[in-house]
Amino acid sequence: MEDKKESFLSLFKEYESKIYNFIYRMTQNEADAEELTQEVFIRVWNGLDGLRSGSSVTPWIYRIASNACFDSFRKNKRTLKEEILEPDDEFLYDAKIPLIEDEIYKSKMAECIRSYIAKLPEDYRAVILLHDIEGFKNSDIADMLGISLDAVKIRLHRARGRLREVLSRECRVLYDRSGEIYCEPKKKGGERYEL
Amino acid sequence: MNCKDFMTYMEDFVDGDVEKDIKERCEDHIKMCKGCMERMMDFKKCMEFFKCCMPDEKPPEGIKNWMSRFMAQCCGGDTVEKKEVI
């Protein structure tokens, strides 16, 4: 039992932040992310004995986290796209030239992108987050989500396509002089603010 | 490789998830085709922007506090139900 506790605490230390952030990006809700992170670690504890030695822990934990998110979505019978509001118009159409050093601006930018991600269907959202943010290979994602490799590729392609579509409609993505990337909102009606 | 073929492979090419042969054909194509090069750069820029807008948040202290209670109360048994952790 002591070995199990030690392994478990070590996993918690390593994955707490990763799993919380993955779930937060999936749910876009801090309270849900906190509750589901706890749920994930309960499942990790309960499944630890069955984890074969030598098998990879990371995909296993992310599989548990993905399942916990999908279970929660099903249980609540809601989707984020029904709940998340439109991106903050005040931010999107603010005529101020962005200061890339400005943490508030960056935070607003992240909020804006999150609202786009939240509008993706849950299965697309899971794939794009697992691939492009968490850095998993398509084959790992297929295994985690219990879907075919082709299905992963299709969902990833569609999720990226939707994201690109909304970005190209709403923003201009630019680099500042230091090479840092940022966006500049397009004005309603298609007219752009110039730098 | 023509532009249509390149667009079929572009995402996998950027992800580094193509066979060597396809990779080389993609590289040859974008050397010659400014349009596809620009489409690829736009795609990369969009994905880079997406990634930079997803910074990690610090998990709430509540999770650590919960874990302390979890370890204290529930780890004596083999299987734990959520309701057991108060």
Residue-wise pLDDT tens digits, A5-38: 888 899 999 999 999 999 999 998 899 999 999 9
Kindly calculate the radius of gyration of chain A based on its CA atoms and give it in whole angstroms: 19
Cα separation, A36 vs A81, whole angstroms: 19
Task: Tell if the CB–CB gap between A16 and B64 is shorter than 8 Å.
Answer: yes
Q: State the ipTM, two decimals.
A: 0.80
Angle in degrees, CA B47, B53, B57, rounded to 5? 135
Task: Tell if the CB–CB gap between B80 and A42 is shorter than 8 Å.
Answer: yes
Is the Cβ–Cβ distance between A49 and A3 less than 8 Å?
no
Cα separation, A72 vs A16, whole angstroms: 19
- Least Cα distance to A112 among A23, A186, A37, A18 occurs for A186
Q: How confident is the model at residue A92 (pLDDT cuts 50, 70, 90)?
A: very low
pLDDT for residue A85 is more than 60: no
* Between B42 and A82, the higher pLDDT residue: B42
pLDDT for residue A53 is more than 60: yes
pLDDT digits (tens, 9 = 90+) for A123-134: 999 999 999 999
Cα separation, B75 vs A56, whole angstroms: 23
Contact status of B16 with chain A (Cβ, < 8 Å): no
- Least Cα distance to A155 among A132, A177, A126, A188 occurs for A126
What Cα–Cα distance (Å) separates residue B83 from each residue in A4, A12, A48, B73? Answer: 21, 20, 19, 11
Write out chain A residues lying below 8 Å of B71, CB-based.
5, 9
**Residue A142 half-sphere exposure toward CB, CA atoms < 13 A:** 10
Task: Tell if the CB–CB gap between B54 and A24 is shorter than 8 Å.
Answer: no
Instruction: Give the residue-averaged pLDDT of B59-81.
Output: 77
pLDDT > 90: percent of chain A: 45
Task: Tell if the CB–CB gap between B82 and A45 is shorter than 8 Å.
Answer: no
